[in-house]
Structure 1
Amino acid sequence: MKQTSGIERFEALLRSAPQGPPSHLEAWNPPYCGDIGLAIQSDGTWSYRGSPIRRMALVKLFARVLRREADGRYYLVTPAEKVDVAVEDAPFLAVEMETWGEGADQRIVFRTNVDDIVACGPEHPLRFVAQAPSGGLKPYLRVRGSLEALLTRALTLDLVERAIPDSEGRLVVWSNGACFRLEP
């Protein structure tokens, strides 16, 4: 009988599932099965035991069942098991941005490195974190649940160009009726 690795077992379980993030992912409470060596680097590269996962279809499959729990840790979750994923910064990168309108009427939509399409707004807010030691800002977009995408440097610059001053003179970006201050 052939022994399967943790990653092969997860791939088989996920391939049998429907496409898209399962609507009941947050309700699944499988037993914790430990750390099988999955990680996501800050550049968005997924790896297994130190080797990059080069099959984008597999990365997208895993991204569908990624969850961040109240303890702040990330897990891949199926109905049968839950394993650790070490995340260096954010699990996703926002790699493309489209904008419509201007000012308070503006709409901003992002595409992530795993092809999630996210309309920034009240349900998918932006947040900004001070970047040490430079003091610059790192913008994050909520993708789903408590999972976020870090905006690439190019998108950050594009976003700053779309900013306007609010009534207090602070720079803000509007999207879908929500106002986001460009400050931590």
Structure 2
Amino acid sequence: MPYEAPPELAGLSLAEVAELVGSRKLPPIASWDPPADGDSKMRIAANGEWFHDGGRITRPAMVRAFASLLRREGDGSYWLVTPHYKQSVEVEDAAFIAVDLRAADGALTFRLNIDELVIAGTENPLRAEGTPESPAIYLAVRNGCEARLDRSTWLQLAEHGLSENGLAEGGSLVVSSMGTEFELAPA
């Protein structure tokens, strides 16, 4: 049974999606280098839920606000960053979860668990980890952070790849978005 994107995503053209992505104003945390640091007592679980001091953060707007300040450093550590202070955040797997997919107009648009849209391409590549029997697909989001595709989104992506391209030589599955190809089998 072919996957159908939800109405709020299916009704958008690629230009409209790109406009929504571009209009999201995020703080310039990549340029901030605060002198002080500490521990936020925050954790992002593998299923994308956010916790503070052991309690789950249940307000989506608060999670989105924290997510806009999240940065991953080259050593793999995660930080909430402001101009004057940064606090460490424990991340079990990926900072975000990709919960939906729309394939149209030569682009793969993913909706994240924080209600943000990301278009896969050279700036937001897909990468495969795990094993061929149990792959994990990640999408680069911003500031070193990634989203892991949840099971249904991974299946949507695989179905799209098979219907568009079939299997490549050697039996690997390849998808393309914005002119960039991504292999979905772990190396």
TM tier, smaller? 0.7 to 0.9
Tell me the CA shift for residue 169 of structure 1. Answer: 4.5
The structure number with the bigger radius of gyration is: 1
**TM-score normalized by the length of structure 1:** 0.81
CA contact 2:124–2:141 (8 Å) conserved in 1: yes
Instruction: Tell me the residue number matched to 1:173.
Output: 175
CA contact 1:127–1:140 (8 Å) conserved in 2: yes
Which whole-Å CA distance do the structure 2 matches of 1:149 and 1:160 have between them? Answer: 17
Instruction: Tell me the residue number matched to 1:38.
Output: 42
**TM-score normalized by the length of structure 2:** 0.80
Q: Give the counterpart letter for 1:176 in structure 2.
A: M
Which of residues 72, 76, 81 in structure 2 aligns to 1:68? 72
Which of residues 10, 25, 36 in structure 2 aligns to 1:20? 25
Matches within 5 A, 1:121-136: 121-131=121-131, 135-136=133-134
Identity of aligned residues (%): 42
Instruction: Tell me the residue number matched to 1:107.
Output: 107
Instruction: Tell me the residue number matched to 2:56.
Output: 52
Which whole-Å CA distance do the structure 1 matches of 2:128 and 2:99 have between them? Answer: 17
Q: Name the Cα RMSD after superposition.
A: 1.6
Tell me the CA shift for residue 96 of structure 1. Answer: 1.3
Instruction: Tell me the residue number matched to 2:143.
Output: 145
Instruction: Tell me the residue number matched to 2:89.
Output: 85
Question: Secondary structure at the residue paired with 2:26?
Answer: coil
* Unaligned 5+ runs, structure 1: 1-18
Describe the superposition over 1:16-41 as per-residue Cα deviations: whole angstroms up to 9, x where unpaired.
Answer: xxx7321x211111123311311100
Describe the superposition over 1:121-153 as per-residue Cα deviations: whole angstroms up to 9, x where unpaired.
Answer: 11111001015xx84100000111311000010
Instruction: Tell me the residue number matched to 1:14.
Output: none
* Unaligned 5+ runs, structure 2: 1-23
Which whole-Å CA distance do the structure 2 matches of 1:98 and 1:64 have between them? Answer: 23
Which whole-Å CA distance do the structure 2 matches of 1:169 and 1:41 have between them? Answer: 33
